[in-house]
Structures are given as C-alpha cells and as structure tokens.
C-alpha cells in the first residue's frame, strides 16, 4: 500500500498556529462527481476549493492519502499499521492528526489505534461523513472543520484532547468506547458507557473531567504486532451444540469473544459450559462481552453466569466488541496466553471502567 503527500497552507502570509496531518483512507467523505456523474475520490490538493472556510483557520496541513482509497469494509490490521506508522513519522513535526475514514469500521480503527499508540500526547481524531462532500446537504464539511479545530486545540501549550477520538455529528467520543449505531441518520456513533468528551455548538464545550491526561514524559511507542486468531460467538436461544463446538475447535484459534445476554448471562446448558471449559483448558481465552449497547458484564451476579466465572471465562466489563477485538489482536501478537489473561481485563487506553 502506497501513499501520496500534499502540503496545504491555510495561513496565507501569517505563521500557522498549528500543523495538522490529515490522512485520507477512503470512504464516503471524499467522494465527488466526475463529468459523467459518477462518484470518484476527489483531489485533496483542491481541498481549499471544496472547503474555503479552512482558509480562515490559519493551519498548515499535510494531507496523506492512500494511492487507492478503500471502502472501510476492507480495512484490516495492515491498514492500521500504515496509519500508525504515518502518525509516528510525523509525530514530532505536527500538533495533531485527523483521519478521514469510512464509517462502517471506524470504531474498530479508532480502538486499534488507541492501543497501538502507547504514550500518545496529541489528538488523533477520526471523522467521516454519511453523505459525500460533493452533496449539498453533506455532513462532511462540518465534521472535517470541527475535527481540525479539535486536533489543533491547545491550552497551556498542551493538547486539549490527547487521545484517539471519533468526531461525528457535533459530538466528540472516545474512540475505543464508540460504536456505529446508525446508517441512515447523521448521528452515526454513540458511546453508551462513556460520556462525550466534547459537544460542538456555537463553541466547542470540552468535558475536561472525562478526557485522558497525556503522559508526555513517556514518549510515543507504537505496537505493530497483531494476531487475528479470534472468533466472535454471539449467543442466541436455540444455539446449536455442533456449531459452537466447531468454532471452538478451529485450528489456530487463540481467543473467543463470547457475546452474552444482559450483564454477562448464558444458558446453563451442560454441553455449552463443558465446551467452553475444554477450550479454556487448551489455553483458548474466552472473554465475556454483553450484547447490550450499555451496561456491563457482572459475572456471578446471576446463576446464569456463575458457571462462566467458575470455569475461567474472563469478564470484559463494559468494553465494546470493537475494543475487545482490537485489544485482543494486539495483546496476542505480543504476549503469552498467561500475560494476555492478566492484561485483557485491565484498562490500557481508557477502554473499560474499573
């Protein structure tokens, strides 16, 4: 995968107040109509023509775009590695980062980057659009302009939001707490278990009490190893024994994310508990995540989760499935099964409550 770089100075003859790296991966945001009316990726060298308002922001922009923009449904860990490498390469010369990304897997990418960019002390803001920028009613313009404003926001010479976030429809959300919840409305994302970090109205109101504090002294360390030997098993009434057992016996399987009911409950079927117990004995990690968009797993609270606790299923507390998937991939890529069992239930980037 190759990228190309464009420099855009919106500060005219003045010194720019901030330097921001924009990374365009693809997605609905950057589509424009060609002379035949077909939607194609637009030239980011002409970004000031599409968004003349940016001229008033006094920013120096570096725009990096994938040579071949991709639909976010095709995003995979190799793309996350490329994004993290671009951020690392520009980290010392830029004040903030904006990633333009398709909405379908944006929460996965935001979650992955939150774990990959250890020691992050600058904003990484993912945004996109439900309608292409070429459409009259597009949400792309406001999303990008406000994302740039947040990425460049500083107080006492430090970034106001030094973490990986999603900005969409006037709300700034922690990236690894976010889920896509809507495909036909502009409010595409929600973070049911964590309050918004900011809301954009006439001015941007930051909720400073819920924003992570930067650990500037640590420096940026990028985690690049992934292991995708993971399965997601969603429980439902009438689930088949043969299907469950076939998944748990998949060659190369390292971990299973078990999507349970309510606060972590599962059927008390002997075969189901036995199947998970045998998998755990083979060092396959089983992580309990609730199917509910809000609330958290509380194993042992009800009889229907006591057996899971007894056999060694690990509680995922209030992690999203997106955060659980990406966190497991990175931990499995770097650590032994014993170490992963220790770290998976601990907050590494604000992804779960303790």
- Would you name the residues annotated as active-site residues? 28
CATH number of 3-222: 3.40.50.1170
Overall CATH class of domain 230-343: alpha beta
Residues 6+ apart with CB under 8 A from 300: 306, 309
How far is Cα 69 from Cα 81, in angstroms, rounded to an integer?
Answer: 16
Band (42; pLDDT cuts 50, 70, 90): low
Residues 196-232 have pLDDT tens digits of: 999 999 999 999 999 999 877 789 999 999 999 999 9
CA dist list (Å): 251 to 248, 304, 332: 9, 29, 16
Q: For residues 277 and 293, which has the higher predicted lDDT (pLDDT)?
A: 277
CA–chain centroid gap for 199, Å, is 19
The ranges assigned to domains in the chain are 3-222, 230-343
User: What is residue 303's predicted lDDT score, i.e. its pLDDT?
Assistant: 83
Q: Do domains 3-222 and 230-343 have the same CATH topology?
A: yes
Band (304; pLDDT cuts 50, 70, 90): confident
How far is Cα 145 from Cα 151, in angstroms, rounded to an integer?
Answer: 10
User: What is residue 50's predicted lDDT score, i.e. its pLDDT?
Assistant: 67
List residues bridging with 232 in a β-sheet: 257
Q: Is the pTM of this model over 0.85?
A: yes
How far is Cα 147 from Cα 166, in angstroms, rounded to an integer?
Answer: 9
Residues 57-107 have pLDDT tens digits of: 888 888 888 777 788 889 999 999 999 999 999 999 999 999 999 999 999
């Amino acid at each position: 995968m190759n990228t190309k770089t464009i420099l855009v100075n919106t500060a005219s003859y003045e010194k720019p107040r901030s330097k921001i790296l924009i990374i365009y991966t693809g997605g609905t945001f950057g589509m424009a109509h060609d002379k035949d009316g077909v939607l194609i990726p637009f030239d980011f060298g002409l970004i000031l023509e599409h968004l003349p308002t940016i001229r008033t922001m006094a920013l120096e922009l570096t725009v990096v775009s994938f040579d071949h923009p991709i639909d976010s449904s095709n995003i995979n860990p190799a793309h996350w590695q490329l994004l993290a490498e671009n951020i690392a390469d520009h980290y010392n010369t830029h004040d903030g980062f904006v990633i333009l990304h398709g909405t379908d897997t944006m929460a996965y990418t935001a979650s992955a980057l939150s774990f990959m960019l250890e020691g992050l002390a600058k904003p990484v803001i993912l945004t996109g659009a439900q309608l292409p920028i070429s459409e009259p009613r597009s949400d792309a313009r406001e999303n990008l302009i406000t994302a740039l404003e947040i990425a460049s926001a500083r107080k006492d010479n430090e970034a106001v939001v030094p973490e990986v976030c999603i900005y969409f429809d006037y709300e700034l959300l922690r990236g690894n707490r976010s889920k896509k919840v809507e495909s036909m409305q502009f409010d595409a994302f929600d973070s049911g278990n964590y309050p918004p970090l900011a809301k954009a109205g006439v001015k941007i109101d930051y909720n400073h009490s819920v924003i992570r504090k930067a650990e500037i002294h640590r420096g940026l360390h990028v985690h690049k190893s992934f292991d995708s030997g993971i399965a997601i098993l969603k429980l439902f009434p009438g689930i088949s024994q043969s299907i469950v057992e076939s998944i748990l016996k998949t060659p190369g399987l390292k971990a299973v994310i078990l999507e349970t009911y309510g606060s972590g409950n599962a059927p008390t079927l002997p075969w189901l508990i036995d199947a998970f117990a045998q998998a755990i004995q083979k060092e396959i990690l089983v992580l309990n995540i609730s199917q509910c968009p809000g609330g958290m797993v509380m194993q042992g609270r009800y009889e229907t989760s006591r057996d899971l606790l007894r056999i060694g299923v690990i509680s995922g507390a209030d992690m999203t499935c997106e955060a659980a998937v990406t966190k497991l991939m990175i931990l499995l890529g770097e650590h032994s099964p014993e170490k992963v069992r220790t770290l998976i239930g601990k907050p590494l980037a604000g992804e779960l409550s303790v």
